[in-house]
A and B are shown apart, each in its own frame.
Chain A
């Protein structure tokens, strides 16, 4: 806001209704030139609706949008682009199967009939330099990392003279190192007077990058605070509308009994992984994105089929793993990284998704006993406090946090569960549910269940785990006990 508080964008009393209920109600907010304005709120608070209205994806039912003081209407994504509003989505809005340069100039290629590739290449180089990306514009987009792909999106926005860039969870799936780079870039953009609307679930990041933060709850703007003076508690309390006491409950203690032993686990991503994990232990895996943490979980569970070798022992007995069925039989459960792609049948109802892995609980033989299924599903919905419009509603319509509860429930209905592999269980989940998941992990560990936890949030690992193993380039570079936990020590092992 050093640019003299010049207002770039102003939203006045924006409303949006879906099926009679308000997704946004009289939401007002301002974005100044050169400002990073954070939007925060639990899932379903109205952030994405607000964004979609700005991006021209959805219309508004009421209110006014002023761009540099002039009222504008944003009827389509194209109009948004012409007004200089660009969005960098977490999900890919680029095509992975064509090259970086082709993506940058998609729909605005040089040349009349044939694409002037030489010029496109040269221009791409220039554009990529703006965001400090040193990749060859002629490589396929799919060969870039998530962080690099985001940079390409930002580069594309800049090349189209974007005045306002909306970033939706830009750092949720990239490493600390890439996060630093991105923040540096954002600071550069600020100096050029670009206004940035920034959405992120991690409150820790706000102080590093934001100027002001606007908190939404239930479709209403609750308050806009200065990031410099607001505390984390201030923000969280406004988000959830109540006080939250302690963030990481940790009461469980591991036993001395080895539950899961892994020897020489190897495939093309990971090398010779050896681990011994105790009953009732919460064991964390730290590492940069792509270091092989997810692969370790997938290998142990049997979800990866290709080229694997190594031994997995449970309670001292070797388990022959050909598919997830073999590990599920001995009481293992697995929550993958991406619930939408890897866990849920999105258009099917909650009950369908919840009972999928253990259909044998609902009747012997080939038939399903519907009343038994309903009973178990209802019980689980109650005990996990899964919130939804109706039991018949597609799981797609649930908020991220409630979807994750459905995925977790899928394994919890198995009373033989004794090892639970969790990959990013709190990603894209709002603060309230995060805390519920932390409590659940602690409760499960107290009940003697062994938990293997992968998360990119170091504070989570340090708050929840008994031990943390650090994975670097497919190998374990160190294992720390709880009293040795230290952010710099862990980061050091991740990188060197």
Chain B
């Protein structure tokens, strides 16, 4: 009996190694079942979790996570991590809002400026990490502090309402061909990041660096430049993600983006991205983002207390990391 038990476990893990998305997919199904069971019903007697309205909101939040998570997956692939993504969002988000409300600069220029600032913040991370060999989590933690502070200074501690309608349409609630803009953005980034990570020489080299930096160097790969590029892309993408959050909220707050870096990391790790160059499949990361979206939505829906939500989220991170590490060891 005992040996039989062992055997079936063994096969399961074999499967997980072959199809790493399987575990995440399973988690998705399990979460959905739990939330369907515990979800309240509305006046019409429908299960709230299953309403179209609820799923729209799930997909909306998923969109934001996934775009950031793709870039985070790239950073993780190079063996790094970026804890400043949320602060980049706070900083560039505030810049965008202020420029829109207090200057008459054209919108495209404002967007270019904010994306440029995001890129620069990322490159700054890369520079510190490459030039001074500061461990990525410390370097980006420092940058996070700087940008968070700058964001507050620009905001003077106050929120800024965004009244520019074309902005809120393009990045928020607008639709194109009957499909929400947010879905289009997610699609666009899924394609771009898929091509970048899985189909280009750049992506291949990034994977090599996380897997074995020394080997990458000995194969003629410019490790420093590659790392800077990865952090630069992360910064740029963070600056983009905040456009969508401001677009949906209609305002920029100084605490914007707080904790987003963790959501990105969780989504990337749930999508099978490891900490030394494993995984990095964009579609798995998309699935990981969806799981996170369902989890956060469902917990609120069934009335899990906000603080407890943080606890559960933390547990999920740890679990996801353990599973990823186990799988990479099995491999």
Q: How far is the CB of A450 from chain B (nearest CB, A)?
A: 19
Q: How far is the CA of A301 from the CA of B217 in the complex (A)?
A: 11
Question: How many B residues face the partner with a CB closer than 8 A?
Answer: 24
Name the residue in A328, A366, A410 with the highest tally of chain B Cβ atoms < 10 Å from its Cβ.
Answer: A366
Q: How far is the CA of A131 from the CA of B278 in the complex (A)?
A: 43
B277 at the interface (CB under 8 A from A): yes
Q: How far is the CA of A77 from the CA of B214 in the complex (A)?
A: 32
Contact across chains for A347 and B211 when beta carbons are under 8 A apart: yes
Contact across chains for B204 and A357 when beta carbons are under 8 A apart: no
The contact string, 1 if C-beta is below 8 Å from chain B, for chain A 353-379, is 000110110010011100000000000
Contact across chains for B207 and A348 when beta carbons are under 8 A apart: yes
Q: Which residues of A contact B199 (CB under 8 A)?
A: 367-368
B212 at the interface (CB under 8 A from A): yes
Which one of A159-167, A175-183, A335-343, A460-468 contacts B?
A335-343
Q: How far is the CA of A363 from the CA of B204 in the complex (A)?
A: 13
SS class, residues of chain B in contact with chain A: helix
Question: How many A residues face the partner with a CB closer than 8 A?
Answer: 28
Q: A324 with B201: in contact, given A345-B208, A345-B212 (CB under 8 Å)? A: no
The contact string, 1 if C-beta is below 8 Å from chain B, for chain A 410-444, is 10000000000000000000000000000000000
The contact string, 1 if C-beta is below 8 Å from chain A, for chain B 215-229, is 111111110000000
The contact string, 1 if C-beta is below 8 Å from chain B, for chain A 206-241, is 000000000000000000000000000000000000
Contact across chains for A346 and B200 when beta carbons are under 8 A apart: no
Contact across chains for A366 and B220 when beta carbons are under 8 A apart: no
Q: State which of A343, A344, A356 has its C-beta within 8 Å of the C-beta of B204.
A: A356
Q: Which residues of A contact B216 (CB under 8 A)?
A: 345, 356
Q: How far is the CA of A482 from the CA of B208 in the complex (A)?
A: 41
Contact across chains for A359 and B218 when beta carbons are under 8 A apart: no
Q: State which of A323, A336, A342, A394 has its C-beta within 8 Å of the C-beta of B220.
A: A323
Q: State which of B200, B202, B277 has its C-beta within 8 Å of the C-beta of A345.
A: B277
Contact across chains for A359 and B205 when beta carbons are under 8 A apart: yes
Q: Which residues of A contact B200 (CB under 8 A)?
A: 366-368
Contact across chains for B202 and A366 when beta carbons are under 8 A apart: yes
Q: A324 with B205: in contact, given A346-B211, A346-B212, A366-B200 (CB under 8 Å)? A: no
Q: How far is the CA of A208 from the CA of B156 in the complex (A)?
A: 80
Binding site for B on A (CB under 8 A): 301, 303, 323-325, 328, 334, 336, 341-348, 352, 356-357, 359-360, 363, 366-368, 394, 396, 410
25 example contacts (A-B, Cβ-Cβ < 8 A) are as follows: A303-B217, A323-B217, A324-B220, A334-B218, A341-B212, A342-B214, A343-B212, A343-B215, A343-B219, A344-B215, A345-B215, A345-B216, A346-B212, A347-B331, A348-B208, A352-B207, A356-B219, A366-B200, A366-B202, A367-B195, A367-B199, A367-B201, A368-B199, A368-B204, A410-B219
Additional A-B contacts beyond A352-B204, A356-B219 (4; CB < 8 A): A323-B222, A343-B219, A345-B212, A363-B201
10 A-B pairs with the lowest CB-CB distances in the bound complex, closest first: A345-B211, A357-B219, A359-B201, A324-B220, A328-B220, A325-B220, A356-B219, A366-B200, A345-B212, A343-B215
Binding site for A on B (CB under 8 A): 195, 199-202, 204-205, 207-208, 211-212, 214-222, 277-278, 328, 331
